[in-house]
Structure 1
């Protein structure tokens, strides 16, 4: 924006959409996170890591690939994995084939934790989001999410 140009203020409809997003997202997320903690004792971060690993062959993944998939910094993931290792739900292992990389692996306790938590978590997601919306609203939400994910996941000039 140049000093002489006017800002592109939001229209009333655009402002309504922006405010709805700002109010909706933290409310839904907070309810689901609260249920997750009460039902299983897991944090959102715990559940995210466990659910990704639980859906992979061998319940393992390279740490670098997991960080990229989750869109977390390696530092954030490393701290999360340390906390989870202390509780015995994951362990880190060197990659046998190259010696440079490391993998994170679900333990028996980790498999049990995600197996127990998943049905309760999906019920919470249904209660606080899915079952409230019509099929058309769910389709629109999915489409909006994909447009935003694609836009924000695509490197743009000047973005680091």
Structure 2
């Protein structure tokens, strides 16, 4: 494919395309591996993200909107997921006194126990699929790139 700009499209150069495809392959490989390992202990990636975020919040509580923004999800998608987690006893939803339409997500003791039980396996999974495959200088470069890519 031509890399010339045609019709306002700046096509990727061969180097850019290789970098993009390599980035996508790495993201898929790491995410697939850690998701599979979490599933083996009964949690989804989204479950773990919600539980770990709530565990770090004051009173183990977050607004649904804050959590949805953090995960890059819509409020309705997270609300449906939170309902499933609530059914499993991992969290409870409470009315948000500052937002009549919103709700608070509150980590339950069962959710905290599930997180505590899953954390060692999750950390080992992250090490196996990501950390241990990179040299310290590579980790520093990944962190630098991630910061740059996360900038607006």
TM range (shorter): 0.7 to 0.9
Structure 1 residue runs of 5 or longer lacking an equivalent are: 155-160
The partner residue of 1:8 within 7, 10, 33 is 10
Q: TM-score when scaled to structure 1?
A: 0.84
Give the direction of change, closer, same or farther, for the CA distance of 1:23–1:93 in structure 2 (3 Å limit). same
String of CA shifts for 1:103-160, please: whole Å, max 9, x gaps.
110111101001111111011001110010011111111111111111xxx3xxxxxx
String of CA shifts for 1:1-25, please: whole Å, max 9, x gaps.
663x6x5343332222112112211
Secondary structure of the corresponding residue to residue 102 of structure 1: strand
Segments ≥4 residues shifted beyond 6 Å: none
1:22 aligns to what?
Answer: 24
Q: TM-score when scaled to structure 2?
A: 0.88
Hey, what's the Cα distance between the residues in 1 that align with 2:59 and 2:89? 17
1:68 aligns to what?
Answer: 69
Q: Spell out the pairing of 1:30-45 with structure 2 (5 A cutoff).
A: 30-38=32-40, 40-45=41-46
1:102 aligns to what?
Answer: 103
User: When the two structures are aligned, how many residues end up with a matched partner?
Assistant: 147
Structure 2 residue runs of 5 or longer lacking an equivalent are: none
Answer 1 or 2: which has greater strand percent.
2
2:120 aligns to what?
Answer: 119
